Amino acid sequence: MIFTKNIWLAPAKLNLFLYITSRYPNGYHNLQTLFQFLEYSDQLIIIPRNDGQINLLTPLDGVPNNQNMIIRAAKLLRQKIPESFAYCGADISIKKIIPIGAGLGGGSSNAATVLVALNKLWKVNLSHNKLVNIGFKLGADVPIFIQGSSYFSEGAGKLIHPAYPKEKWYLIADPGIHISTSMIFNDPDLNIYSPVRSYQDLLLAPYTNDCEYIVRKRFHKIEMVLLWLLEYAPSRLTGTGACAFSEFNSKSSALRVLNKVPGWFKAFVARGINISPLYNFNDNVCTSQDY
């Protein structure tokens, strides 16, 4: 039996819209995007150690431990805290359900959860803002998971202000393809000149994703997935893919379409939520779940 206090959730996210407005000389891109969490999470079990060892007990296929965001986050946190914490370590296990390289933010979410959890378990007590700054060094999406609420983001990952989009139900389609974010952002045909608009104007416009055209063009299976989804509901790509999603006003509507999904791609239904389950419960821990 694992004590509840050692189980931490790392939720998936959707980009409800994503626009690219320019490219910096260093290769990063100016974005305008709206993040919302999903009630669909990886589970991490984190047991502190006092010998300085940081161990991932459940390695992910194809991801060396030294490249895994979980290990990188734990080691980076320890580098940023006083030397008196050098003895701090952890045994970490993960039940992974968020697809890798699918645009759902699983790696970034895992890293954020590790930072939040170890900050508490090691009794480091860094401020929220300091954790966010550490998160930026791991990836542009990590801070959104540390902040723990839906956000409108602008620039190269700058969080502008909290957002409160409707908490709809989504059918998320996973074509089983891993897409490199850098490949999409470096594609010569990618539109990087969407007009900069105010948040209020973006909310009133139809939601779209500037990466979708390229992804559909380069990956035939994703084109077929989106064509199938669009027969039932408004649908679009999240992030740089590979997952796409359809939005529904009720769980029953989403489940009806889920029951029609053909066998050539996977799918699941989840509710969009504006507060991360990482922070949704007392004492910054999640409620008990089967592991």
* CA gap 176, 46 in Å, rounded: 28
Sole residue written with tokens 């989009």? 165
Q: Is 149 left (phi over 0), alpha (psi -120 to 50) or beta?
A: beta
Closest CA to 278 of 2, 38, 61: 38
For 131, the enclosing helix (H) or strand (E) is: helix 128-138
Q: Which residues, 6 or more positions from 77, have their beta carbon under 8 angstroms from its beta carbon?
A: 114, 115, 118, 119, 124, 134
91 is catalytic: no
13 given a catalytic annotation: yes
User: Active-site residue among 42, 141, 174, 210?
Assistant: 141
Catalytic annotation, pick one of 13, 42, 120, 210: 13
Neighbouring CB atoms inside 10 A of 136's CB total 15
Q: Could you list the active site residues?
A: 13, 141
